[in-house]
Amino acid sequence: MAAIETSAPPVKGRAAGRPTVRRKRTVGQRLRHDWPLLLMSAPALAQLAVFFYWPSSWNIIAFMDYSAYRPFWDNPFVGFAWFERLFSDPYFVPALLNTLKFSALNLMFLFPLSIALALIMHSVVSTKVRSVFQSIVYLPYFFSWVLVVTIFVQVLGADGLVSNWLLGLGGDRLDIMSDPSTFTFLAWLQWAWKDAGWGMIIFLAALASINPSLYEAAAVDGAGRWKRMWHITIPGIRPVIVLLLILHIGNILTVGFEQYQLQRAAVGYQTTEVLDTFVYYRGIQDAAYSFGTAAGLFKGVIGLILILVANNVAHRLGEQGIYQKS
Amino acid sequence: MTTTAFRTKSRRSQRPAWDEEPSFAGKFVKAAFLICYAAAIVLPIWAVIATSFASESALQDAGGNLLLLPNDLSTQAYEQILGGGALTNSLIVTILLTVGGTAISMVLTIGAAYGLSRPGSLLHRPLLMLVLFTFLFGPGMYPSYLVVQQLGLLDSYWSLILPSALNAFNLIVLRAFFMNSVPGELIDAAKMDGAGELRILFRVVLPMSKAILAVIALFYAVGYWNIYFQAVLYTPGLETQPIQVVLQRMLMSTQGMPGADIGQYQAAEAAPTAALKMAVVVCTIVPIVIMYPFIQKHFTKAIITGAIKG
């Protein structure tokens, strides 16, 4: 979500008020001047070093035949052998396909749902209705997956609310929560229930930044409701749409772990296995160090490539993307 | 007629003059959609709350897990949760995790957000790059697990806090706020008066950033409160698990399914009743609902600073 800015914004506030005479100082002088700042940043940077960069460098064992019982450098390098193993693994490719399937569903149906919700909300005139509705729809975003799945089981599960109504009406038990053929839809539904409202809020914030006089001018010129939406609203939120799209694409192999792990027992691993659960069950649970790391690294590298490519395409299309070219 | 008269009176809901009134059908469809959508969220939550207060007999009468309107109320489930025992311990642990974790996260985030926000300071650019790179790449689950293992933090509550203590997104948003919304003149003036960086941070910068700090703290708090995955990964052997794990085990135990890799729900209560389960659900929702108004009050601002920059 961050429009990551790598440089200080041009002439604004501090920069404008600063006296421009500034002699070049040596590193020692700067250190004497800036050490409190560095000290303040140190805890966070230490956290990143220990819990981001150190594990990142552990990825090297994806190219080794690693065993924890040998000194580190005694582990032989095996090139891409683990990746070859990965792609011939009978469970990996289905997990990858499942991941892509859930991701695609999210991208195709959840994203537009958020936009649609935002557009509808934006067209509601009464601020009271808006604030009540907003408060309701993005509340589930703050719920944990455990909570969401529990609520879904209670409502739509075999012993749940709806199932009992159907039984009371003489119908059949509802079994969509544990039926592999309906799980894909249900996973999407859970996702939508949890996150669509949050997406709506982000688009609403973007919509709020559109200058209202544009609408007025268009209306005066005779543009109707739909025309205004097409020519003002959509272009107005396009940068945000592109930004979120890039982030989504970069995360295409990340659909989360909890939602699928939680329903694995009920639905079966064939349907719920995604890359993260694969790494957990086939890597960590089996203590398959190099294999599990290779699976994770595959995911990380594809994510990195996708986000760079998507951003590049966005730049080419004249959009801002997630970072500015500088 | 009366509605339009009313509408012109209430200034808050006034439609701008150039905007034509939508057709009745359009309004109807819109209203129906919004009501259905809201109901899909409110009704399940309501049913959970209602069930948590249902007495055993009311539950048996209904023969179900979830009730919309129990005919007999009881607070037995809550007495069981709060009356000592495994569930109480779990709630206490989760509250401590949330408070402690949020405090640590805020120290890290504020420190780096300010430390990297001063223009021209030594190394701020490369250090910022180190932060930004975390957006592009993930180190992977297994390497992270190995590091936690090497640090000897497996089955320690620290492993639920430290590995996720810093959210780079929050750091960047806060830094942007410090740079753009705290007037540089104030900071320069404080410097002229001889104030050190720490003093400037506490006396000038932080008091001007209360709203965004509240939002970031609440996001961290919600994250710690909802901790589940890290507990499954790093602390499967802990006796007192975070509340989400306990809830998951209760859910599994009544679905008649073994909690696969996590082990069985170990509390004294053998088969939790629907009321007890739903009361745990309510206990996990309540803090979120309490925090919610604060998040709402301030966070659109935070989103606008973060997401719509430029």
Q: Indicate the domain borders of chain B.
A: 23-74, 86-307
Residues of chain B positioned with their CB less than 8 A from the CB of A66: none
What is the interface size between A and B, counted as CB pairs within 8 Å?
359
Among the partner-chain residues A3, A51, A136, the one whose CB lies closest to the CB of B309 is A3
Among the partner-chain residues B38, B108, B137, the one whose CB lies closest to the CB of A304 is B137
> Model pTM?
0.86
Residue with tokens 């709630």: B91
Among A106-120, A276-290, B252-266, the minimum mean pLDDT is found in: B252-266
Q: Do B146 and A55 touch (CB under 8 A)?
A: yes
Greater confidence, A261 or B12? A261
What pLDDT was estimated at residue B225? Answer: 95
Residue type, B116: L
Residue type, B181: S
Q: Do B169 and A40 touch (CB under 8 A)?
A: no
Whether A21 has a pLDDT exceeding 70, the answer reads no
Among the partner-chain residues B42, B141, B171, the one whose CB lies closest to the CB of A280 is B141
**CA-nearest residue of chain B to A298?**
B140
Nearest CA among A105, A82, A102 for reference residue A260: A102
Separation in Å, CA of A43 to nearest CA in chain B: 6
Greater confidence, B26 or B226? B226
Kindly state the average pLDDT of the residues B15-36. 83
Domains with residue ranges and CATH for chain A:
77-125+196-316 (1.10.3720.10)
Kindly state whether B154 is in contact with chain A, defined as any CB-CB distance less than 8 angstroms: no
- β-bridge partners, A77: A64
Q: Do A284 and B145 touch (CB under 8 A)?
A: yes
- CA count, 13 A, side-chain hemisphere, B282: 20
Alpha-carbon gap, residue B241 to B280, rounded angstroms: 14
Whether A326 has a pLDDT exceeding 50, the answer reads no
Among A130-134, A238-242, B14-18, the minimum mean pLDDT is found in: B14-18
Kindly state whether B192 is in contact with chain A, defined as any CB-CB distance less than 8 angstroms: no
Alpha-carbon gap, residue A288 to A85, rounded angstroms: 12
How confident is the model over B199-241, as pLDDT tens digits?
999 999 999 998 889 889 988 999 999 999 999 999 999 999 9
pLDDT band at A32 (very low <50, low <70, confident <90, very high): confident
Separation in Å, CA of B83 to nearest CA in chain A: 23
Q: For residue A105, with 0-12 CB atoms within 10 Å meaning exposed, 13-18 middle and 19 or more buried, which class applies? A: middle
How confident is the model over A120-142, as pLDDT tens digits?
888 887 878 888 888 888 899 99
Nearest CA among B265, B271, B307 for reference residue B65: B271
Whether B281 has a pLDDT exceeding 60, the answer reads yes
Q: Which CATH superfamily is domain B86-307 in?
A: MetI-like (1.10.3720.10)
Instruction: Rank A32-41, A168-177, B50-59 by mean pLDDT and report only the highest.
Output: A32-41
pLDDT band at A201 (very low <50, low <70, confident <90, very high): confident
Greater confidence, B74 or A279? A279
Kindly state the average pLDDT of the residues A243-250. 83
Alpha-carbon gap, residue B135 to B167, rounded angstroms: 10
What pLDDT was estimated at residue B255? Answer: 52
pLDDT band at B6 (very low <50, low <70, confident <90, very high): very low
Residue type, A110: L
Whether B264 has a pLDDT exceeding 70, the answer reads no
Kindly state whether B29 is in contact with chain A, defined as any CB-CB distance less than 8 angstroms: no
Among A104-118, A198-212, B65-79, the minimum mean pLDDT is found in: B65-79
Residue with tokens 């745990």: B280
pLDDT band at B266 (very low <50, low <70, confident <90, very high): very low
- CA count, 13 A, side-chain hemisphere, A227: 12
Angle between helices A127-137 and A180-208 (to 10 degrees): 140
CA angle B297, B216, B140 (to 5 degrees): 140
Kindly state the average pLDDT of the residues A165-176. 81
What pLDDT was estimated at residue A323? Answer: 63
pLDDT band at A254 (very low <50, low <70, confident <90, very high): confident
Q: Do A41 and B138 touch (CB under 8 A)?
A: no
- Percentage of residues in chain B having pLDDT higher than 70: 84
What pLDDT was estimated at residue A2? Answer: 43
HEC string of chain A equals CCCECCCCCCCCCHHHHCCCCCCCCCHHHHHHHHHHHHHHHHHHHHHHHHHHHHHHHHHHHHHECCCCCCCHHHCCECCCHHHHHHHHCCCHHHHHHHHHHHHHHHHHHHHHHHHHHHHHHHHCCCHHHHHHHHHHHCHHHHCCHHHHHHHHHHHHCCCCHHHHHHHHCCCCCCCCCCCHHHHHHHHHHHHHHHHHHHHHHHHHHHHHCCCHHHHHHHHHCCCCHHHHHHHHHHHHHHHHHHHHHHHHHHCCCCCCCHHHHHHHHHHCHHHHCCHHHHHHHHHHCCCCHHHHHHHHHHHHHHHHHHHHHHHHHHHHCCCCCCECCC
- β-bridge partners, A163: none
A210-235 as b/e: b if 16+ CB within 10 A: eeeeebeebbeeebeeeebbeebbee
Q: Do B141 and A300 touch (CB under 8 A)?
A: no
What pLDDT was estimated at residue A4? Answer: 47
Separation in Å, CA of A294 to nearest CA in chain B: 9
Kindly state whether B146 is in contact with chain A, defined as any CB-CB distance less than 8 angstroms: yes
How confident is the model over A61-108, as pLDDT tens digits?
999 999 888 888 888 999 999 999 999 999 999 999 999 999 999 888
Q: Do B255 and A4 touch (CB under 8 A)?
A: no
What pLDDT was estimated at residue B129? Answer: 92
